[in-house]
């Protein structure tokens, strides 16, 4: 099957690598212009990228350490959500769930709330982040090996694109350095060919739009953009960087809530990639920079100002075009949802639907339904981060009193007055966040009423079991901690 990908970067080259990796008869061309700059302020991923890195490659040429070194990356154990209640407190949103998160009653999660008044210490990752320890250990020969593999990565987005570009072009993916200047559609609005700035005419029967916010292909169709700005009103980001070293590095994404949004800090090997995400209805760029400088205690140099609108295309697969990454949707940077959805969407498309020269036409709606559900689920999750009851600034008053709630979040807030939320209430399917992520965000929003929790645990005879499960987890952590490698040591190892 001949496939042309318009746009490189993280989305385009990972899509090309997936096609090359999982199909032996795909003819793949990537059209990427060197004129188009990439910000590369620092990015993070979810567990889907480590899955793709570790999954069986044709010649076993990629390993995790090689990937991290070439992309100036570090490990990521989770997200530190600080000041989202306006009181300076924090919780973690860890990758690792609790030992009992698949049971009908997550007793370890409840035990953490009973003991610490927060549920995230039911995850080993929260203990690791507190103690600045990694998921790696040394073997008897002094080699660094994973003690357990449920971590993710921080990386320089520009370098990730270069990494997969090199891997793909060595293995036969064709690369054209030019810009698309014109598109030719047939009477059914199927894309037939594109004309490039260099004069070439490129034809294909199937296309990927991976051109980011430019949406070079999809924006020229009749496909409708559906705005989510009523649910997620942040619309501006100002990226910048700060210094990093082995003494200060933390293998966590910091998401620090500010007056009109939040600031991210992502540790790379050569700098911290940072930025302030805010709603321009409540502050402006100059005030945002002043606020960040006051928080950090030093001057910052913003790279640029990025404007965006939360939303998605009505159809991610439109006729013979599939949009991946920022071309298909964008919510906001919180929880690294964009790269996660891109990888899951690409994998599902390649594994289940692109199996012949002519895809089955009814598969488009099945695929689009899956994408819509996944994007909507993350919209629900991201909005729930803000619903903490905070009232100290106009932005936070708006988010907790006036913002339009999604239907799921209305349901979750109402049901929490009667019973505890469970895994059944977040409708998990493949690719969505799932209960282990949701439970910590729900707790931070006050949806695990302590009195109701006591009544439910006593009703099922699980109160003491919850305490015991938490104590067992703590003992397990104390047992493995001496063998683990610290942030500082692993950071130095990556930079060798």
Contacts of 252 (CB under 8 A, 6+ apart): 76, 77, 78, 79, 80, 92, 129
Please, what's the b/e burial string for 1-29 (b: 16 or more CB within 10 A of its CB; e: otherwise)? bebbbbbbbbbbbbbbbbbbbbeeebebb
Residue identified by tokens 């949701």 is 438
Are 155 and 68 spatial neighbours (Cβ–Cβ below 8 Å)? yes
Pairing label, strands 272-278, 236-242: antiparallel
Are 259 and 393 spatial neighbours (Cβ–Cβ below 8 Å)? yes
Q: Which fold has domain 75-152+230-309+381-459?
A: FAD/NAD(P)-binding domain (3.50.50)
Which tokens hold the place of 69? 């070194």
135/137 Cα distance (integer angstroms): 7
Cβ-based neighbour number of residue 71 at 10 Å: 24
3-state secondary structure of 217: coil
Torsion of CA 356, 33, 200, 223, to 10 degrees: 50
Name the residue ranges covered by the structural domains of the chain. Answer: 2-45+155-224+310-377, 75-152+230-309+381-459
Q: Which fold has domain 2-45+155-224+310-377?
A: FAD/NAD(P)-binding domain (3.50.50)
What does the pLDDT profile of the chain (496 residues) look like in tens digits?
899 999 999 999 999 999 988 887 889 999 999 887 665 567 999 999 998 988 876 665 678 999 999 999 999 999 999 999 999 999 999 988 999 999 989 999 999 999 999 999 999 999 999 999 999 999 888 889 999 878 999 999 999 999 999 999 998 999 999 999 999 999 999 999 999 999 999 999 999 999 999 999 999 999 999 999 999 999 999 999 999 999 999 999 999 999 999 999 999 999 999 999 999 999 999 999 999 999 999 999 999 999 999 999 999 999 999 999 999 999 999 999 999 999 999 999 999 998 877 788 899 999 999 999 999 999 999 999 999 999 999 999 999 999 999 999 999 999 999 999 999 999 888 899 999 999 999 999 999 999 999 999 999 999 999 999 999 999 999 999 999 999 999 999 998 8
The string of DSSP codes covering 328-377 is: TEE--SGGGHHHHHHHHHHHHHHHHT--SSS--TTHHHHHHHHHHHHHHH
> Would the CATH topology of 2-45+155-224+310-377 be identical to that of 75-152+230-309+381-459?
yes
Fill in the DSSP letter of residue 495: T
Are 41 and 356 spatial neighbours (Cβ–Cβ below 8 Å)? no
């Amino acid at each position: 099957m001949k496939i042309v990908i318009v746009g490189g970067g993280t989305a385009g080259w990972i899509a090309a690598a997936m096609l090359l990796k999982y199909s032996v008869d795909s003819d793949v061309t990537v059209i990427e212009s060197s004129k188009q700059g990439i910000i590369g302020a620092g990015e993070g991923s979810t567990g889907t990228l480590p899955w793709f890195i570790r999954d069986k490659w044709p010649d076993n040429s990629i390993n995790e350490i090689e990937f991290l070194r070439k992309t100036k990356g570090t490990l990521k154990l989770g997200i530190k959500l600080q000041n989202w209640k306006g009181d300076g407190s924090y919780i973690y949103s860890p990758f690792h769930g609790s030992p009992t998160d698949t049971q009908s009653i997550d007793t370890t999660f409840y035990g953490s709330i009973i003991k610490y008044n927060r549920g995230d210490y039911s995850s080993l990752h929260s203990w690791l982040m507190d103690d600045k320890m990694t998921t790696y250990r040394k073997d008897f020969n002094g080699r660094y090996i994973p003690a357990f593999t449920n971590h993710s990565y921080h990386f320089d987005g520009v370098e990730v694109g270069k990494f997969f570009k090199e891997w793909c072009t060595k293995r036969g993916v064709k690369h054209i350095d030019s810009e698309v200047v014109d598109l030719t559609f047939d009477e059914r609005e199927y894309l037939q060919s594109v004309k490039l700035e260099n004069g070439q005419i490129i034809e294909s029967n199937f296309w990927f739009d991976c051109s980011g916010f430019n949406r070079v292909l999809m924006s020229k169709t009749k496909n409708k953009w559906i705005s989510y700005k009523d649910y997620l009103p942040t619309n501006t980001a100002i990226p910048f960087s700060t210094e990093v070293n082995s003494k200060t590095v933390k293998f966590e994404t910091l998401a620090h809530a500010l007056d009109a949004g939040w600031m991210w800090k992502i540790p790379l090997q050569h700098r911290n990639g940072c930025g302030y995400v805010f709603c321009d209805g409540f502050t402006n760029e100059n005030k945002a920079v002043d606020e960040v400088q006051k928080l950090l205690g030093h001057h910052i140099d913003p790279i640029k100002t990025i404007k965006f609108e939360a939303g998605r295309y009505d159809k991610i697969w439109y006729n013979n075009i599939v949009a991946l990454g920022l071309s298909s949707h964008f919510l906001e940077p919180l929880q690294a949802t964009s790269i996660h959805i891109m990888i899951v969407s690409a994998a599902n498309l390649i594994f289940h639907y692109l199996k012949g020269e002519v895809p089955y036409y009814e598969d488009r709606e099945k695929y689009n339904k899956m994408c819509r559900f996944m994007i909507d689920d993350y919209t629900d999750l991201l909005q729930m981060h803000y619903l903490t009851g905070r009232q100290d600034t106009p932005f936070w008053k708006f988010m907790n009193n006036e913002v339009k709630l999604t239907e799921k979040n209305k349901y979750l807030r109402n049901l929490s007055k009667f019973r505890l939320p469970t895994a059944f209430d977040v409708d998990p399917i493949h690719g969505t966040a799932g209960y282990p992520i949701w439970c910590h965000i729900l707790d931070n929003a006050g949806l695990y009423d302590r009195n109701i929790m006591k009544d439910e645990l006593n009703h099922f005879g699980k109160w003491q079991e919850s305490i015991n499960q938490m104590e067992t987890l703590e003992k397990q952590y104390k047992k493995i901690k001496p063998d683990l490698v610290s942030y500082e040591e692993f950071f130095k190892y990556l930079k060798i």
